[in-house]
Amino acid sequence: MTKSGFIPLESHEEYSTEEMTKRAAEFLANLQRRRTVRQFSEKPVTKEIIEQCIRAAGCAPSGANKQPWHFVVVSDAVRKKRIREAAEAEEREFYSRRAPQAWLEVLAPLGTDENKPFLETAPYLIVIFEQRYEINQRGERVKHYYTQESVGIAVGMLITAIHNAGLVSLTHTPSPMGFLNDILDRPAYERPFLILVVGHPSKDAVVPKLERKSLDQIVTFL
């Protein structure tokens, strides 16, 4: 008999060691091709692909299974323009005043500046909101747990799903991002977490020559 509230783990697939080795290597080879891209084409992407990728992100684990995320998918040109204008205003401040010299120095190899044309060119901006609590039916606040970790994991899975589908993305975080609540009509208890810019790369897209740390540099086996 299964304890009430529980079901047998039927979704798990068991593979041989050979199969697991092959699957792990293939997944790695696919993810090694992932690059953050800043030049997007206007080529459209079907809503269905975006929906499937967001369903994949919604499979992320979360603190107390509160699933403390909300995804706003922006394809409307007027909203994209408003987001671009507000983001560029913050970024102008960042690059000309707020960012300390040391920060600007580490950003230099990425070639970023206050101009964010991709916020209008890319077919989709997926704005992820973090819900630190929810409001229940009686209007009371119900606390969520480990919300940053949970939303971070969900965004990681979203980025992976988008890459796997054959699209590119850019994690964009103009700071502060409070303007997103106004433009996207989200309640004050939701905190903008990230803008994920999604689409096809432009034909002439370039990416900085970056090195990934080696396994030795990122792992300790004990």
- Interacting span for ligand IYR (CB under 6 A) from 5-13, 120-128, 133-141, 166-174: 166-174
- Among residues 41, 112, 164, 181, which is the contact residue for ligand IYR, using CB under 6 A? 112
Q: Does 201 bind ligand IYR (CB under 6 A)?
A: no
**Least distance between ligand IYR and beta carbon 191 (Å):** 16
- Report the sign of the C-alpha dihedral through residues 216, 29, 209, 105, in that order: negative
Q: DSSP state, 98? A: I
Integer CA distances (angstroms), 132 to 68, 150, 151, 191, in order: 7, 11, 10, 8
Q: Does 135 bind ligand IYR (CB under 6 A)?
A: no
- Among residues 91, 124, 150, 201, which is the contact residue for ligand IYR, using CB under 6 A? 91
Given the structure tokens 């106004």, which residue do they identify? 182
Q: Does 107 bind ligand IYR (CB under 6 A)?
A: yes
CB 73 within 8 A of CB 54: yes
- Among residues 68, 123, 174, 192, which is the contact residue for ligand IYR, using CB under 6 A? 174
Q: Does 110 bind ligand IYR (CB under 6 A)?
A: yes
CB 53 within 8 A of CB 165: yes
**Least distance between ligand IYR and beta carbon 206 (Å):** 16
**Least distance between ligand IYR and beta carbon 71 (Å):** 20
CB 47 within 8 A of CB 119: no
Question: What six digits make up the tokens of 123?
Answer: 């077919």
Rg of the chain over CA atoms, in angstroms?
20
Q: Point out which residues bind ligand IYR (CB under 6 A).
A: 91, 94, 107, 110, 112, 172-174
